[in-house]
Amino acid sequence: MFSLPNKVTIIEVGPRDGLQNEKNEVPTEVKLEFIEKLQIAGVKEMELSSFVSPKWVPQMKDAKVIVESVSKVGRQFVLTPNEKGVELAKQAGVNSFAIFVGVSDSFNKKNINKTTRESMHELKPIVERLLKDGHFVRACISTSFYCPYEGAIDPSKTIEICREFVSWGVNELSVADTIGMANPKESYLLFDAIKKEFPNTLITAHFHDTRKMGLANIFAALQAGVDRFDSSVGGLGGCPFAPGATGNVATEDVVNMLHQMNIETGIDLELLLQAVNSVAPYVSRPIETGMYKLFKSK
C-alpha cells in the first residue's frame, strides 16, 4: 500500500510565473489585490515577482512596488536571474530568492543566452553570498524531464544539477516539468531518487499541464514522498522559450484533489477561487480549470 503525507505545502507561483508572460498588462493594483486574496485564502508561500529587465519582461516592471506593498505573510520569493536582479531585490527588502537554470543547454541558451555550465558558474558566488547573508535560496531547475529542443532529459543530468546546488547549501530544489511532458511513472522515479539522495533539502515539484497529466504527476510525486508543490491559480502561465507548453497545474484543482484525499493544505478553496476571479478579467485567455468552472456555474 502506498503512503501519502498528511500535509502538503503549496507554493503559489501565479503572481510571477503565472503572469510573467501574460500578453495583457495587468495593473499593479490588480496584482496587489490578487496577492492579498491569495494570502487571505491561506497561501503561506508565494512567488511575488521577478527582478528582470522591463525591456524583456514588461509585466514584471513593477516588481519593486509589489514587493514593498504586499503584506509580509509567510515566505515570499522573487526570481532573480543575475547579480543585478539580486541587488535590486535586496534594496526592496527581499529575504527569499529564487534562482534558476535549465538542465538542457539548448533551453538555457534560448532563455538567458548561456550554457547550463556557464549559468552554474555565474550562480555559485551569488548563491553563496546570499546564504552567507542569511537569505533563503530556492534553486529552480527547468527542463528536468523534457526539453522542447532536445527531447527527453537523462535523469542523471537532472540529479547532477541538484547535487551541485545542494553542495552549495541551497535551502530548496524546485524541480520542474517545464513543458508538461512527464508522465506519472517518470515523476515517481525521478522524485523518489531525489528524495532519497537529498533527505535534508526541501524538495518541491513543479508541473505544467500541457497533456493534462499535472494532477497525475503530483499524485505520483506524493507517493515518492514529495510534500511541496508549485502551482498557479487558474492554470496561469507558460514559458515563451518552451513552444507548446501550457500553463502551470492549477492551484484550485490541486487543492481540491488533496482535500478530497484528506491531505491538509491550510488553504480555503472557496477563498482561493475568489482570488482566481479577481484576476480572471485581466488575462488574455479564459480560465477553464475544473474547479473554477464549477465556481462560475453556481
In the prediction, which pLDDT does 111 show? 81
Q: Residue 290 above 60 pLDDT?
A: yes
Question: Does residue 112 surpass a pLDDT of 60?
Answer: yes
pLDDT computed for residue 298 by the predictor: 81
* Selected catalytic residue, list 140, 147, 162, 239: 239
pLDDT tier for residue 247 given thresholds of 50, 70 and 90: confident
The Cα 268–Cα 271 span in angstroms is 5
- pLDDT of 66 over the 80 cut: yes
Residue 244 has pLDDT above 70, yes or no: no
- In this predicted structure, the answer to whether residue 239 has a pLDDT above a threshold of 80 is no
Least confident of 15-24, 66-75, 170-179: 15-24
Q: Which residue has the cell 496584482?
A: 31
**CATH number of this structure's domain 9-297:** 3.20.20.70
- The grid coordinates listed for 41 are 485564502
- Statement: residue 169 has pLDDT above 90: yes
Chain-centroid distance, C-alpha 199: 21
CA distances from 213 to 162, 178, 246, 290 (A): 24, 13, 12, 14
Please indicate whether residue 140 is annotated as part of the active site.
no
pLDDT at 14 over 90: yes
Round the average pLDDT of the chain to a whole number and report it: 95
Residue 241 has pLDDT above 80, yes or no: no
What is the reported pTM?
0.96
